[in-house]
Amino acid sequence: MIALPDSDSEDELPPGWEERATDDGTVCYVNQQSKTSQWTHPRTGRSKRITGELPIGWEKYYDEQSRRFMFLNKETQQRTNVDPRLAFAVEEPTQDVTRVRQRFDSCSTALQVLHGKDLHGRIALITGANCGIGFETARSLAQHGCEIIFACRNKVSAEAAIERIAQERPAARSRCRFVALDLSSLLSVKKFVTEIKESVSHIDYLILNAGVFALPYTKTEDGLETTFQVSHLSHFYLTLQLETLFDYKTRIVVLSSESHRFANLPVENLAVHHLSPPPEKFWSMMAYNNAKLCNVLFAQELAQRWKQRGISVFSVHPGNMVSTDLSRNYWFYRLLFAIVRPFTKSLQQAAATSIYCATANELTGLSGLYFNNCFFCEPSKLSKSASLQRQLWDVSENLLKELVQ
């Protein structure tokens, strides 16, 4: 084992080492002192690859005098034998999540996760993108060239959110658009899907961000308890209806919460009344906990069912008591969220895990995982019950058969 000097960054090469790129894009590491080379990073032990086209203004040519390929920056006339794409080389993906190196943590922001990424040509559909974590997710992706579909109920709020993004990055205005979606109405979901299928042929990132918290007991127009329908059933319906727009390049991210660990759904004989309880058995906090458990159960079952298609599905915890509009329905929670605000994540930090799961190259080929602070985390024992995952799927499917004409 070679003793390496201390460094603040795992990616930093030790003295005497340099990166080179082969013609097929594989990165190799050359030790100038020992005159040896290897395919893995001397610190991390991981292999890397460069992808994509050369940066704008650069060209590659063969130099007859030195008999090797060179790179020319046509604007500055700088010439080098180092491929400029090496700065954005990415680690080769692994099929073992335990081998994924943690690059970000609870302090990381969405924009830090996206550093160096070019998302032009990608399409993201984000529910609840007009405010809070959803807005920061949309804003961050849009700044890196991604086209954003704002799937929201409130048109005025969504258009104001798009205007805020355009003020920061005028070119992003043409990449952001609002499409009406009311998750408390299955009919609205159906209309939304029809409009989306008429306008796009592929979705790269489906981010199921919208949800409700601390609602008093209310029913939707479909006759179901609102927290359950908005946070789970409508997202379940939306995802299945958009299936033809997904392929192996698609990532589906379901926002859950650590609150899923306090859910009380039964392991056996799950029924509608457990998910959408009557008024006398309703408690808003437990309804939220159960809905967040449904998010994890759904993500894991969907990952299994679509595994052969190569579609990656992840559920995430964005952060504890992040200051958003989620607490707007009850004065006590508004007060509590305000008190803890200095000690919780910012919206940029809260959006980081969703962004990471949607875009991280090292997660290619992985699916059905739960993430917290941009890293894999074991979900609750109840959420890993294959039986409960199947039961929730069956109950949800049967409900849709009854309610959707």
Mean pLDDT, residues 396-402 taken together: 98
pLDDT over 50 at 171, yes or no: yes
Phi and psi at residue 247, in whole multiples of 5°? -145, -165
Dihedral sign from CA coordinates of 287, 292, 297, 303: positive
Tokens encoding 32: 């100038």
Is the Cβ–Cβ distance between 203 and 250 less than 8 Å? Answer: yes
Question: For residue 64, is pLDDT > 60?
Answer: yes
pLDDT value for 183: 98
pLDDT at 4 over 80: no
pLDDT of 266 above 50: yes
Is 60 exceeded by the pLDDT of residue 76?
yes
Average pLDDT over residues 14-36: 85
- Of 21-35, 219-233, 337-351, the poorest mean pLDDT is in 337-351
Q: What is the pLDDT of residue 320?
A: 61
CA distance 73 to 18: 21
- Residues 317/259, Cβ–Cβ less than 8 Å: no
pLDDT of residue 9: 55
pLDDT of res. 359: 96
User: Considering the chain, what is the average pLDDT of its residues?
Assistant: 89
DSSP conformation letters of 170-227: GGGGGGEEEEE--TT-HHHHHHHHHHHHHH-S--SEEEE-----SPPS-B-TTSSBHH
Residue ranges per structural domain of the chain: 17-91, 99-404
Quote helix, strand, coil % in the chain, to nearest 5.
40, 20, 40
Residue-level pLDDT at 282: 96
362 contacts 91 by C-beta, under 8 angstroms: yes
Ordered alpha helix ranges (H), 365-405: 386-403
Active site residue 288: yes
Sheet holding 36-38, edge to edge: 17-21, 27-31, 36-38
Q: Name residue 326's amino acid.
A: L
Q: Does domain 99-404 have CATH number 4.10.320.10?
A: no
- Is residue 339 over pLDDT 60? no
For CA atoms 134, 135, 136, 140, the dihedral sign is positive
The residues near 326 (Cβ < 8 Å, ≥ 6 apart) are: 132, 211, 212, 213, 214, 337
Q: For residue 116, with 0-12 CB atoms within 10 Å meaning exposed, 13-18 middle and 19 or more buried, which class applies?
A: exposed
Q: Which residue has the higher pLDDT, 384 or 321?
A: 384
Helix 155-168 × helix 132-143 angle, to 10° = 40
* Amino acid, res. 306: W
Rounded to 5 degrees, φ, ψ at 180 are -65, 130
CA terminus-to-terminus distance, the chain: 66
Among candidate residues 288, 330, 333, 356, the one labeled active-site is 288
pLDDT at residue 177 in the model: 97
Counting residues of the chain whose pLDDT is more than 90, the rounded percentage is 67
What percent of the chain lies above the pLDDT cut of 70?
91
> Is residue 186 within 8 Å of 236, Cβ to Cβ?
no
Q: Could you tell me which residue, 90 or 63, shows the higher pLDDT?
A: 63
* pLDDT tens for each residue of 138-147: 999 999 999 9
**pLDDT value at residue 335:** 55
Is pLDDT above 70 for 343? Answer: no
Q: What is the model's pLDDT at position 81?
A: 85
Structure confidence by residue, pLDDT tens digits, 287-329: 999 999 999 999 999 999 998 898 999 999 997 655 555 545 5
Nearest CA-CA partner of 327 in 214, 237, 246, 405? 214
